[in-house]
């Protein structure tokens, strides 16, 4: 049975989630998180999208992207997931799939939901009992807010 086509629209915000195969860990040590962020920066430049939130959890990733060309959602995630998988499998001497099925994406249609989604993503480490407060988790966009950096875009007006 064929897959259902994704709904995509131009100039939209997307909440994207990709999870480790069988919920396995996809980040084993600090350098893995660093590598994922480097890959994310690379494809952010290549596909010219905006990144408003992210959270790299031990077994999955959340992103909020603003993408002008709707065809780029799948291309971006294919590049991200493939590049990171090649790195991970080489480093840990593994073969095969790292990510479970295809990524999930949801269009964010209004500003209120966008802010709620950003909050949900950045508080994920607290809900998972990984840290006691947001500033203690260095793999989310929370600590990038208000700083001059190459990865997180500022959300000026909704």
For 82-133, write each residue's pLDDT tens digit.
Answer: 999 999 999 999 999 999 988 999 999 888 999 999 999 999 999 999 999 9
* pLDDT for position 6: 47
pLDDT in the model for residue 7: 57
Residue 138 has pLDDT above 70, yes or no: yes
Looking at residue 2, what is its pLDDT?
47
Q: Which domain holds residue 107?
A: 12-144
Does residue 7 lie in a domain region?
no
Domain-located, residue 156 = no
Identify the pLDDT of residue 111: 87
* Average pLDDT, rounded, for the chain: 91
CATH code, 22: 3.30.70.1290
Between vectors from CA 106 to CA 135 and to CA 2, what angle results, nearest 5°? Answer: 135
Average pLDDT score over residue span 45-68 = 96
Tell me how many domains the chain contains: 1
- The pTM of the full predicted model, rounded to 2 decimals, is 0.91
Q: How many CB atoms lie within 10 A of CB 28?
A: 12
């Amino acid at each position: 049975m064929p897959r259902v086509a994704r709904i995509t629209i131009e100039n939209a915000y997307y909440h994207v989630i990709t999870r480790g195969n069988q919920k396995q860990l996809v980040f084993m040590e600090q350098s893995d998180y660093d590598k994922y962020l480097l890959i994310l920066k690379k494809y952010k430049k290549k596909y010219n999208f905006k990144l408003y939130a992210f959270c790299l959890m031990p077994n999955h990733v959340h992103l909020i992207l603003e993408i002008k060309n709707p065809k780029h959602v799948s291309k971006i995630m294919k590049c991200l997931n493939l590049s990171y998988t090649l790195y991970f499998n080489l480093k840990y001497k593994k073969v095969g799939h790292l990510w479970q099925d295809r990524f999930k994406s949801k269009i964010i249609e209004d500003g209120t939901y966008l802010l709620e989604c950003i909050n949900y993503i950045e508080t994920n480490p607290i809900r998972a009992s990984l840290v006691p407060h947001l500033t203690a988790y260095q793999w989310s966009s929370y600590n990038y807010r208000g700083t001059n950096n190459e990865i997180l875009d500022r959300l000026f007006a909704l």
